Structure 1
Amino acid sequence: MNIKVVETNQEKKHAFQVRTEVFVEEQNVPPEEELDEHDAEAIHFIGYEDEEPIAASRLRFVDEYGKLERICVVKDQRGKSNGKQIIEAMEAVIADKGYSKSKLNAQTHAEDFYKRLGYKTISGEFMDAGIPHVTMVKELK
């Protein structure tokens, strides 16, 4: 997969397209919750396979953390390390910006996936967009 930091309107459109497919269409998150006011300030990532957009995410800096958000991979491309690759790309940008910690709110079904990538759960379960989540953090090397 070719992962890029979004630079063009077309790349941003592709990122929003992937997010809409995964979160709005597949997981029934209301569109107004998925695409929100933080999109304007965030760094967006898009992953392509054979020129097709298949993965997306966004990154914001909150307090002392790089906050990984809206991480998603289209259904037929899961299980191929695409999620891991986009997270590693986000962590590289966090480190490049001088931050040493990352944080995310993980859907509970993905908690073990993030644990394998070095994240530790620091919260109890909470609901976000009708989906159970936990907050996880990682010290970056």
Structure 2
Amino acid sequence: MSNLEVDVGTWDAFQDAATAVRKAVFVEEQGVSEDEELDGNDSEALQFLARDDEYPVGTARLRFPEPTVGKVERVAVREPYRGDGVGAALMRAVEDAARDDGAMELKLHAQTHVEPFYEQLGYETVSDEFEEAGIPHVKMRKRLNG
């Protein structure tokens, strides 16, 4: 990958690019319904967009259900770019932004097949397996150091 950049912004700024990545991964590849994928929570979330040159290759969002706990959601990387560090770069950006916003902890619902990816980044599994959008998930969390 020639030129990976991760930007932080608003839904207004990233809606088209983030939606394209999420539709490719969640709707087309994984069969999640579009209604479920676009859940109406995007405008209140901090958005992250990974680009290779100008092409959007990954996305994530961060919400704060509690003042010091961030919830990482909608982490998606286009299939050809997986294993190239895009997901890790996105998560670093999310963690930095969460720390800047005063978060002490991050939590997320990981699809079970990517649980090892999050474990490598320091997340621990804190639940049994459950189903979300017809896909097996686990709850994971990570304490952030200032």
Matched residues in 2 for 1:53 and 1:65: separation?
A: 28
Runs of 4+ in 1 over 4 A off after TM superposition: none
**How far, CA to CA, are the matches of 1:30 and 1:100 in structure 2?**
33
| Structure 1 position 118 matched with structure 2 position 118 | no
Q: Deviations along 1:9-37, whole A, 9 cap, x unmatched?
A: 45221011101110000000000000112
Distance across 2 between alignment mates of 1:106 and 1:2: 23
Partner of 1:23 in structure 2? 26
1:100 positional shift: 1.1
Separation of aligned partners in 2, 1:26 and 1:71: 14
- Please report the RMSD computed on the Cα atoms of aligned residues, expressed in angstroms: 1.2
Q: Deviations over 1:78-128 (max 9, x none)?
A: 000110000010000100001110000000000011001000000000000
TM-score (norm 2): 0.93
Partner of 2:64: 61
Q: Is the 8 A contact 1:6 1:12 kept in 2?
A: no
Unaligned runs of 5+ in 1: none
Which residue of structure 1 lines up, in the alignment, with residue 5 of structure 2?
2
For 2:122 and 2:101, the matched residues in 1 are separated by 20
Counterpart position of 1:134:
138
Q: How far 1:7 sits from its partner (Å)?
A: 4.2
